[in-house]
A and B are shown apart, each in its own frame.
Chain A
Amino acid sequence: MIVSPPVASPDLVLDVRRRPAQLLDVPVVAAMWRRELLRYCRDRSQWFGGVSRAILWLIILGYGIGASYTNIEGYTYTQFILPGVAALNIIFASMQSAIALVWDREVGLMREILVSPAPMPSVTLGKVLGGATVAVSQGTIVLLFAPLAGVALSPLQVLQAWAVMFAMGILLVSIGTVIASRMATFEGFGAISNGIVLPMYFLSGAVFPIRGIVGLGGFLVELPPWLKALMFINPVTYPVDLLRGALLSFQQLPPGLDLALAAALPLAALAAAVVAMNRLVVR
């Protein structure tokens, strides 16, 4: 029998329980993190999605378009798009992890979490870190295709890429969490995919360069100003440029700006996610 008599003193209860932390409870963060990873490992469709996107975009589109655009500042199109496809997988995985919250909150485990004494900021942090880890793993699938694109990666480059991809994961899972926390219901991933994932991807400099193409003949193409403006508003533009710097040593924006924004934006987004999740606790 696991039920205590109702006269059990609170001190006795505290003996079998840890004294709860108010904001940062490391075991809670770790448990939420682990939960995201366990869910991911058991979801074969997500692995399949990650590999199929890599093949579709990197191999088919990369070689197909590469036949026309033979050279972007000295790189083949497949090489140019390699960091972009890694970013696509990260955007997809992050949004999927965040949007799962809608289901989780209405009919899944999140209700059990929301009624528990666990501090919500720790729950949010664990979820975001877990989602970001999943995103890094999805991005890494694309890095495995690097030799096919003729890119040789050193261990240091892989470490740099992981760091950028992790920051990007935190940014996107946090943004997704803010969105998901405000959705009452949803009709699947389609709306999110077309409304958020693809615009973020196309406007990040992942599939075409920000500053004009230098083709084989050496001519320069300028993007229309409105398109450029949209790209600079997109928070994903900066980590994508940074990732391209890490993988190809080719960057289009000032490295200092990239680095500052790739570090600051995820932290700001994480803070917003914590606030959004706290609002779910009591309505």
Chain B
Amino acid sequence: MSSGAGDAFAAVIECRGLTRRFGDRAAVNDVSFEVRPGELFGLLGPNGAGKTTTHRVLTTTLEPTAGTAKVAGFDVVRDARRVRDLIGVVFQEPALDDRLTARENLHLHAVLYGLRPRIAGPRIQEALEWAGLSEHAGRPVRTFSGGMKRRLELARALLHEPRVLFLDEPTAGLDPQARRRLWDQISTLRRGGLTAFVTTHNMQEAEACDRVAIIDDGRLLAIGAPAALKTRIGGRDRATLEDVFLDLTGRALRDDEATPRERLLGFGRRGGELTR
């Protein structure tokens, strides 16, 4: 496990023995790691490994059962409010109001984060341009493609200038073009000095990270730069991150029961009432 203690910079994200249990099952089990300033950090793991649980603890919507986590220097439990002020979050499924326009969604975000109106107006315009959505600003989000929704969410997560950006499986369900565009945008942000924490099970995406942590069954299995992991664990020339991943997590299929969210989504896709 890498230690940031000797670094010149304080860690932006710091987990110490982080554990979250649901009943008997530990979704996250004694996980410790640090994310340095300006890093693009990937949390890689199969379905049900504990990625989303970690994401939720770090974004203050789930309390850890044991251990501590700090984001931007603040404890996620004791100083949850300060943490919330300083982070931007993109969720697995779009968390937009489908009946509101792109601009209205951004405006609501600006109010929730307490942006002053004189600042919010121009910044919303800037965000729409950055996301390439200025021409669609007045359209209800329900008419948007998956890629457009993602771009809007990313622009929204940045509207209040967060110190740390959290992305939970940001490219799930996107076509290759939209996927590429999203990663280009995330890379641009890194050059601006933003720290980003991305959960993913996509190997190509993990390759783009400065460092990745591989998690399975709630336990941290390995952490390091993709190249270092390939030599250390892949152990042979031309090992891919996918080899490393499969070596560590095994080849068994991960079948899970449908969660309430998945059942609800299925209901929505079948055209159920009150799902818009």
Q: Which residues of A contact B (CB under 8 A)?
A: 1-8, 13, 16-20, 25, 27-28, 30-31, 35, 38-39, 42-43, 96, 99-100, 102-103, 106-118, 184-190, 281-283
Contacts and interface: CB of A to CB of B under 8 A. Distances in A.
A111 B173 CA distance: 19
Nearest to A38: B100
19 contacts: A3-B189, A6-B194, A17-B115, A20-B81, A28-B112, A30-B111, A38-B99, A39-B99, A43-B99, A106-B260, A108-B95, A109-B96, A115-B61, A115-B84, A117-B85, A117-B113, A118-B111, A282-B61, A283-B63
Contacts of B99: 38-39, 42-43
Contacts of B116: 16-18
Size class of B's contact patch? 35 or more
Given A8-B163, A42-B99, A108-B97, 8 more contacts: A3-B189, A7-B193, A27-B111, A30-B111, A106-B261, A112-B109, A112-B112, A185-B264
B264 A107 contact: yes
Contact of B12 (A6, A100, A111): A6
A28 B96 CA distance: 17
Nearest to A113: B112
A55 B111 CA distance: 40
A82 to B, nearest CB: 28
B274 interface: yes
Contacts of A186: 264, 267, 274
Interface string B186-198: 0011001111000
Given A18-B116, A20-B114, A115 B192 contact: no
B127 interface: yes
B192 A3 contact: yes
B17 to A, nearest CB: 19
Contacts of A188: 267, 272-274
A172 to B, nearest CB: 16
Interface of B: 12, 37-38, 59-63, 80-81, 84-86, 89, 91, 93-100, 104-105, 107-109, 111-116, 119, 123, 126-127, 130, 140, 155-156, 158-161, 163, 188-189, 192-195, 260-261, 263-265, 267-268, 272-275
Contacts of A108: 95-98
A249 to B, nearest CB: 38
Contact of B97 (A13, A18, A39): A39
Given A2-B123, A3-B158, A184 B100 contact: no
Nearest to A187: B267
B81 A117 contact: yes
